[in-house]
Amino acid sequence: MQMLQAQLEVGTDPREVGKAREWARSRLAGFGVGADESLVETLVLLVSELVTNAVVHTGRPALLRIVLSGCLVAGGGTARIEVVDTSSRPPRRRRAEEEETSGRGLELVCGLADRWGWRQEGAGKRIWCELDRGHGTGTAGTGAVDAGDTGRAAPAETLLGDAHDRERTRAVRT
């Protein structure tokens, strides 16, 4: 299976989010994904949301990684976006009020990605999301329950890995 990977160090300045978006767009085009505008726009939006969360909510540098596996260009495969930071504070989904201008990042990730989750990693954490090309562009996202939830997850929720692995996903019912 073919796998392409690129990573970028992201600083703490909020302007880094725009740089991360442009970098992601450039890397995707370099990997041959640029021709599918819908897929690229979805992936760039996911990058933007995850990097924004790292920059705004942790105030610490982060590492952005894009991993493409399978034959993403030919209509199959998976795109994975990861952001690793040094904050042990878990990501938290919230329900923003209509007039609020922030607080929708993880809701967007949940809605756009086929899977997403996070896990503790050393003193920090890794938050990730995946988009499967074979099932459209992720608009039927299955989401995840973040580890900070109260445990009121949908019945289809499954835990991946062992108890220390905080990556969670829900099964798709079609």
Q: Give residue-wise pLDDT tens across range 4-51.
A: 899 999 999 999 999 999 999 999 998 888 767 888 999 999 999 999
Q: What is the mean pLDDT of the chain?
A: 74
For residue 156, is pLDDT > 90? no
**Domain harbouring 159, CATH code:** 3.30.565.10
- Could you tell me the residue range of the domain that residue 154 belongs to? 3-91+104-170
- 14, part of any domain: yes
Predicted pLDDT at 124: 93
DSSP string of 59-92? -S-EEEEEEEES-GGGT--EEEEEEEES--PPP-
Q: What's the CA gap between 3 and 159, in Å, rounded?
A: 25
Predicted pLDDT at 143: 44
- 138, part of any domain: yes
* pTM reported for the whole predicted model: 0.72
| Least confident residue range of 105-109, 127-131, 132-136 | 132-136
Predicted pLDDT at 116: 93
Two tokens at 78?
Answer: 């998976």
Integer-rounded Cα radius of gyration of the chain: 15
Query: Which among 31, 10, 123, 121 is positioned nearest to 79, based on CA atoms?
Result: 31
For residue 165, is pLDDT > 70? no
Question: How far is residue 33 from each of residues 25, 39, 47, 70, 82, measured CA to CA in Å?
Answer: 9, 8, 15, 12, 18
Two tokens at 117?
Answer: 């989750």
Query: Which among 76, 74, 173, 62 is positioned nearest to 118, based on CA atoms?
Result: 62
Task: Report the number of distinct structural domains present in the chain.
Answer: 1
Estimate the share of the chain in helix, then strand, then coil, as percent rounded to the nearest 5.
30, 25, 45
- 18, part of any domain: yes
- 57, part of any domain: yes
For residue 131, is pLDDT > 50? yes
Predicted pLDDT at 144: 43
- 96, part of any domain: no
Predicted pLDDT at 36: 72
- 97, part of any domain: no
- 99, part of any domain: no
- 49, part of any domain: yes
- pLDDT for 85-115, tens place per residue? 999 888 876 675 677 556 567 888 888 999 9
- pLDDT for 44-78, tens place per residue? 999 999 999 899 888 899 999 999 987 665 667 89
